[in-house]
Amino acid sequence: MFNSDKLKKSPGFIRTFSRIAPTYEKKYGDKLGLAHDECLEVLKQHTWSVSPQCILDIGCGTGALLERLHQLWPQARCIGVDPAEGMVDEAVRRRPFASFLRGNAEALPLESANINLVVCSMSFGHWYDKSAGLKEVKRILHPEGLFCLVENSPPGWGLTYIINRLLRSLADYVPKEEVIRLAESAGLHNVYAYTTDRNFIVSTFQVSH
């Protein structure tokens, strides 16, 4: 169902996230809420021919963003995927309206061309292989679907990038331009991309035709 070899090779953040899952929202809820606000704002601006029938959150954590999306589109089927077992367990407990699976972005345990809306908020920096993950997004996304990505754009970007590359001890954040390049290489067309005054990269993509 998911690439266990890649999970074993991944940094220790998976174990860390699994361990802190019960208190994750209490400790980091404010920051997550700001990122979720940005995601919802851009989704509300999108022109939908029909409301999303199936929504996927990659790196869903405890499912907080899915809860807000469920409030917006209550008829939609909501699915969350996360590599951290503790996060999945906590999400199942907190959000019984949704389905949650343990897995990673690089090998999504889902059928092709079946998801109307894919979201990724504050987890792209932890993807093991961003190119492979974006190809998976393209594979599972409905031809008329939308992919929304929200990620940190840290202040002092140059130093952060150097530390990431040398120590591999932080999330592997990439600039907005690199997000677009990677997504377009995976067969996704950029719709919106901007950096907010709260230091978030917000971008949306559709399948290139």
Task: Measure the CA–CA gap between 135 and 132, rounded to whole angstroms.
Answer: 5
Is the predicted pLDDT of residue 106 greater than 80, yes or no? yes
CATH number, position 162: 3.40.50.150
Beta-carbon contacts of 28 under 8 Å, excluding residues fewer than 6 positions away, are none
Residues 6+ apart with CB under 8 A from 91: 60, 61, 62, 63, 66, 80, 82, 98, 100
pLDDT given at position 16: 92
What pLDDT, on a 0 to 100 scale, did the predictor assign at position 4?
Answer: 42
* Size of the chain, expressed as the number of residues it contains: 209
Share of the chain above pLDDT 70, in %: 87
- Of the candidates 86, 97, 143, 95, the one whose C-alpha atom is nearest the C-alpha of residue 118 is 143
| b/e per residue 139-158 (b: at least 16 CB within 10 A) | bbbbeebbbbbbbbbbeeee
Average pLDDT, the chain: 90
Q: Is 122 left (phi over 0), alpha (psi -120 to 50) or beta?
A: left
- Please choose, from the candidates 122, 146, 128, the residue with its C-alpha nearest in 3D space to the C-alpha of residue 58: 122
pLDDT over 60 at 39, yes or no: yes
Is residue 11 scored above 90 in pLDDT? no
Q: Which amino acid is at 63?
A: G
Q: What is the pLDDT of residue 163?
A: 55
- Residue range of the domain that includes 89: 4-207
> pTM higher than 0.85 for the full model?
yes
Total tally of structural domains belonging to the chain: 1
Give which of 50, 80, 58 is closest to 67, Cα–Cα. 80
- pLDDT tens digits along 153-191: 877 655 555 655 554 555 788 899 999 999 999 999 999
What tokens appear for 158 in the block?
Answer: 């140059």
Which amino acid would we find at residue 3? N
Distance from C-alpha of 86 to C-alpha of 21, rounded to nearest angstrom: 6
What pLDDT sits at residue 165? 53
The mean pLDDT of 28-32, rounded to a whole number, is 94
Per-residue confidence (pLDDT) for residue 172, from 0 to 100: 84
Strands 77-82 and 54-58: parallel
Q: Are 6 and 106 in contact (CB under 8 A)?
A: yes
